[in-house]
A and B are shown apart, each in its own frame.
Chain A
Amino acid sequence: MAMNTVMCLLTDAEGTPLGSAMYIPHNAGHLQLINLVNTFLNNEEKLSYSFYVSDEELLVSVGTYMERNSVSVENVLKIVYRQQAVFRIRPVYRCSQTISDVHEGEILCVSFSPDGKQLASGSGDKTVRLWDLNTETPMFTCKGHKEHVLAVAWSPDAKCLVSGDRDGKVCCWDPSKGELLGNALSGHKKWICGIAWEPAHLSYPSRRFVTCGKDGDARIWDFTLKRTLIVLSGHTRAVTCVKWGGDGTIYTGSQDSTIRMWEITQQGQGILKHILRDHAGWVNSLSLSTEYVLRTGAFDHTRQVTCSDEEMKKIALERYIKAKGKVDSPERLVSGSDDFTIILWEPSVSLQPKQKMVTTARVTGHQQLVNHVYFSPNGQWIASASFDKSVKLWDGVTGKFITAFRGHANCVYQISWSPDSRMLLSCSKDSTLKVWDIGTKKLKHDLPGHKDEVWAVDWSPDGEKVASGGLDKDLKLWKG
Chain B
Amino acid sequence: MIAKKNYAEKAQMKKTLKMHEESSSRRKADEDVQEGAVPAYLLDRENTTRAKVLSNTIKQKRKEKAGKWEVPLPKVRPVAEDEMFRVIRSGKRKTKQWKRMVTKATFVGPGFTRKPPKYERFIRPSGLRFTKAHVTHPELRCTFCLEIIGIKKNPNGPMYTSLGVMTRGTIIEVNVSELGLVTPAGKVVWGKYAQVTNNPENDGCINAVLLV
Contacts and interface: CB of A to CB of B under 8 A. Distances in A.
Interface of A: 105-106, 108-109, 123-125, 147-148, 150-151, 166, 191-194, 214, 238, 240, 255, 284-285, 371-372, 389, 406, 409-410, 413, 430, 451-452, 455-456
B66 interface: no
Contact of A451 (B33, B38, B54, B185): B54
Given A389-B186, A410-B184, A430-B184, A191 B40 contact: yes
A151 B37 contact: no
27 contacts: A106-B37, A108-B38, A108-B39, A108-B40, A123-B37, A124-B37, A125-B37, A147-B33, A150-B43, A166-B33, A192-B40, A194-B40, A214-B44, A238-B44, A240-B41, A255-B44, A285-B41, A372-B41, A389-B186, A409-B185, A409-B186, A410-B184, A430-B184, A452-B54, A455-B38, A455-B39, A455-B42
B: contact size bracket:
10 to 19
A409 B42 CA distance: 18
A224 to B, nearest CB: 26
A413 B41 contact: yes
Given A106-B37, A240-B40, A452-B54, 4 more contacts: A108-B37, A147-B33, A214-B43, A406-B186
A413 B47 CA distance: 14
| Best-surrounded residue of B33, B37, B185 (most CB of chain A within 10 A) | B37
Contact of B37 (A105, A372, A406): A105
A431 B55 CA distance: 15
A218 to B, nearest CB: 14
A123 B40 CA distance: 11
Nearest to B182: A409
A123 B93 CA distance: 89
Interface in B111-153: none
| Best-surrounded residue of A108, A147, A406 (most CB of chain B within 10 A) | A108
A193 B186 contact: no
A149 B42 CA distance: 14
Nearest to B43: A191
B40 A151 contact: yes
A148 B37 CA distance: 7
B40 A150 contact: yes
Interface in B32-58: 33, 37-44, 54
